[in-house]
């Protein structure tokens, strides 16, 4: 049967401390990388939304321009029909009430054109506002990811220092108790108030 020595147990304890610190640091690293990747993904989605919103704004303005042109053409055609009807009835179209009729038609048509353009511009500005918000949120998503990654790095450093301190403390304790068979003063000095390792692997009262 294999005998487990005190030194073996001491090394195993120290190795467990090192492994525990390493696993904890790896977990912190993975968490930081995952947060960073998630932030980058969210930022990419938001950037795409910003691009889509910009294109929608451009499309709204183009549609407004086309609709305004169509309205102007319709108004022009309506005025032409009015003038033809008035002339067919023997009315002089460029004076008095006939001129007022065509003038009113032209004015109403112009107002309709302006309304169409205004509505299109309002729609475009709404899309641009969405794009600006998406861009700002994308920046925040990246910042959050970077912040989480930095926090993970700091956490790893803290874990390393804590683990190093724990390993050093255990090494000193085992060395002081003579678990490694050292002949240094720290291990050979006998304090009557402490316990020393016996050759059997147990503790014996030195008094």
Residue 146: its pLDDT value, please? Answer: 77
pLDDT given for residue 139 in this prediction: 82
Residue 35: closest CA among 138, 146, 140, 136: 146
Residue 84 corresponds to which tokens in the numbers above?
A: 């033809």
Burial state string for 75-101 with b = 16 or more CB within 10 A and e = fewer than 16: beeebeebbeebeeeeeebeeeebeeb
pLDDT over 80 at 143, yes or no: no
Q: Residue 52 falls within a domain, yes or no?
A: yes
Q: Has residue 57 been placed in a domain?
A: yes
* Domain of residue 193, residue span: 6-202
Query: Over the stretch 82-108, which tens digit does the pLDDT of each residue have?
Result: 888 888 888 777 778 888 888 888 999
Residue 1 inside a domain? The answer is no
- CA 54 to CA 130: how far, in whole Å? 9
**Higher pLDDT residue, 166 or 135?**
135
Q: Which residue has the higher pLDDT, 200 or 178?
A: 178
Confidence label for 14 from pLDDT (cuts 50, 70 and 90): low
Identify whether 20 is part of a domain: yes
Residue 53 maps to a domain: yes
- Number of domains observed in the structure of the chain: 1
pTM above 0.85, yes or no: no
Asked if residue 55 is part of any domain, the answer here is yes
**Who has greater pLDDT, 13 or 29?**
29
Q: Which helix or strand (DSSP H or E) is residue 35 part of? A: helix 6-88
Q: Are 179 and 197 in contact (CB under 8 A)?
A: yes
The answer to the question of residue 207 being in a domain is: no
Tell me, yes or no, whether 173 lies in a domain: yes
* Residue 95 DSSP class: S
């Amino acid at each position: 049967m294999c005998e487990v020595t005190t030194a073996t147990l001491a090394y195993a304890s120290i190795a467990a401390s090192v492994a525990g610190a390493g696993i904890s640091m790896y977990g912190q690293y993975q968490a930081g990388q995952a947060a960073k990747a998630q932030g980058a993904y969210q930022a990419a989605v938001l950037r795409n939304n910003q691009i889509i919103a910009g294109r929608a704004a451009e499309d709204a303005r183009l549609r407004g321009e086309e609709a305004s042109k169509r309205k102007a053409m319709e108004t022009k055609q309506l005025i032409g029909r009015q003038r033809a009807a008035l002339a067919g009835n023997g009315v002089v179209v460029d004076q008095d009430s006939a001129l007022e009729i065509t003038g009113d038609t032209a004015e109403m048509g112009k107002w309709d054109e302006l309304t169409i353009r205004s509505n299109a511009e309002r729609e475009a500005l709404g899309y641009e506002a969405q794009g600006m918000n998406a861009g700002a949120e994308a920046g925040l998503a990246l910042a959050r990811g970077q912040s989480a990654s930095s926090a993970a790095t700091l956490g790893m450093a803290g874990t390393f220092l804590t683990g190093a301190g724990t390993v050093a403390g255990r090494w000193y304790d085992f060395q002081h108790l003579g678990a490694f068979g050292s002949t240094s003063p720290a291990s050979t000095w006998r304090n009557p108030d402490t316990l020393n390792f016996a050759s059997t692997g147990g503790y014996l009262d030195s008094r």
